[in-house]
Structure 1
Amino acid sequence: MRLRGGTVAVALLAALVLAGVLVAWLGAGRAVSAVPPLRAAPPVPPSGVGSAEVLLSADALTHPAHELVRAQLQRHYDAINAKDYAAWAATVVPERSAALDEPAWREAYDSSQDGTIRIDRIDDLAGGRVLVRVRFVSIQDVEDAPVGVPARRICWHGSLPMSGEPPLIEQTGGGSSIAAPC
């Protein structure tokens, strides 16, 4: 028995349609993850700062110290958001906390909240140190914003040198962060 070309094509098309219906039916009711893929930076939320969870890019995830760095930055941003100077001071080198004592820190971070935090990259530096490229969103009272960026909401891209174990954030200099209203 020989099948004609048209009959084979119709049978193949019917099988494909049936397979599509079956796949759709089996997938019905399953939640689709709203979490962006590791490679994608989280979108800047339309308002506020977004989640305070520190995320890692796929690139940052490949660095051997990624979890130590992520955990320390999580403590750092949690301390800022909770207005906990002692917890913040435990995430930075002593020279940094000495340069920003508690009264000055409270004044600087009084109205600040941070979120949408992502470690983009971790690079090795000499002496076992690392340089962490991080982005985040902050909101603050306009009068508490940096002089050059008088905005309620700011998108930051920073480079944080870290050293030790757990890695502590070292002093940073001018030009280590880029800030823009968002």
Structure 2
Amino acid sequence: MSAVPVPPSSQRWLLPVLVVVVSLMVGGGLLAREVYRLPESTPDAVIALPSSTARPAAEQPGPGTVELTPDAAAHPQHAVISQLLQTYFDAINSRDYDQWKTTVTRARIQAKPRASWLEDYDSTKDGSILVYRIDAVTATDLRVLVGFTSIQDPTAAPAELPDATCVHWKLGLPVALEQGHWRVDAVAGYTTPEMSRC
């Protein structure tokens, strides 16, 4: 006659102890990963803060380099948007319509043909360009809050500031994903720009 073996009592607690040990190891590994994680790298962008000091008239409109606040630089698309706006403003400052067309949507190109664009920007020079924020509206639509200074012939001044030769602007630029590329979209009807004399 054969006896049925009785499982030793030590096997009953082996599985719960094993679960606890594995859980502690996983938790410890996750904690160590957080503690020893390398700090995030600084974005590859020109970081600046809004300046409260006025630039002398002889130095207006300021440098043509697009700068970002830390808030804007934290956005995942900051590098693409910074490069887009740099090309956009460079095109305006060099009166290069063909270059400008590479930065805007088809709708904006149709609304602003070459002759009209050249007339509008004939005497314009933009500088002191600062991106304050980049906000995602949808996966294909961003809003970029940007401030800049523009100098121009007094006859080209905005109607709200007649005869102004230097204007500080702050506006929300709509930026849309078109054919796989971010492009500045039409501003009219979307936002009311803030403007003041320098």
What TM-score, normalized by structure 1, do the two folds share?
A: 0.76
1:60-71 matched pairs, under 5 angstroms: 60-71=72-83
Which structure has the larger Rg over C-alpha atoms?
A: 2
Q: Which runs of 5+ in 1 are unaligned?
A: 1-36
- In structure 2, the partner of 1:46 is 56
After TM superposition, the runs of 4+ consecutive aligned structure 1 residues lying more than 3 A away are none
* Contact 1:56/1:118 (8 A) holds in 2: yes
- In structure 1, the partner of 2:165 is 152
* Contact 2:132/2:147 (8 A) holds in 1: yes
SS of the residue corresponding to residue 70 of structure 1 reads helix
Distance 1:92 1:44 in 2: 31
Instruction: Give the % identical residues.
Output: 34
Deviation at 1:177, TM superposition (A): 1.4
SS of the residue corresponding to residue 125 of structure 1 reads strand
The alignment of Structure 1 onto Structure 2 pairs a total of residues equal to 146
- In structure 2, the partner of 1:171 is 186
Deviation at 1:44, TM superposition (A): 4.2
Distance 1:143 1:39 in 2: 32
- For structure 1, which segment, 124-133 or 55-64, has the greater mean C-alpha deviation from structure 2 after superposition? 124-133
Name the Cα RMSD after superposition.
Answer: 1.6
Distance 1:76 1:147 in 2: 23
- In structure 2, the partner of 1:4 is none
1:30-179 matched pairs, under 5 angstroms: 38=47, 40-42=49-51, 43-47=53-57, 48-150=60-162, 151-164=164-177, 165-174=180-189, 175-179=191-195
SS of the residue corresponding to residue 181 of structure 2 reads coil
Specify whether residues 67 and 57 from structure 1 end up closer, same or farther in structure 2 by C-alpha distance, changes over 3 A only.
same
Per-residue CA deviations over 1:58-99 (Å, capped at 9, x if unaligned) read: 000110000000000000000000000011111110110110
Deviation at 1:126, TM superposition (A): 1.7
Distance 2:165 2:104 in 1: 26
* Contact 2:167/2:195 (8 A) holds in 1: yes
Specify whether residues 107 and 123 from structure 1 end up closer, same or farther in structure 2 by C-alpha distance, changes over 3 A only.
same
Distance 2:182 2:84 in 1: 7
Deviation at 1:38, TM superposition (A): 3.9
* Contact 1:160/1:176 (8 A) holds in 2: no
Q: Which runs of 5+ in 2 are unaligned?
A: 1-45
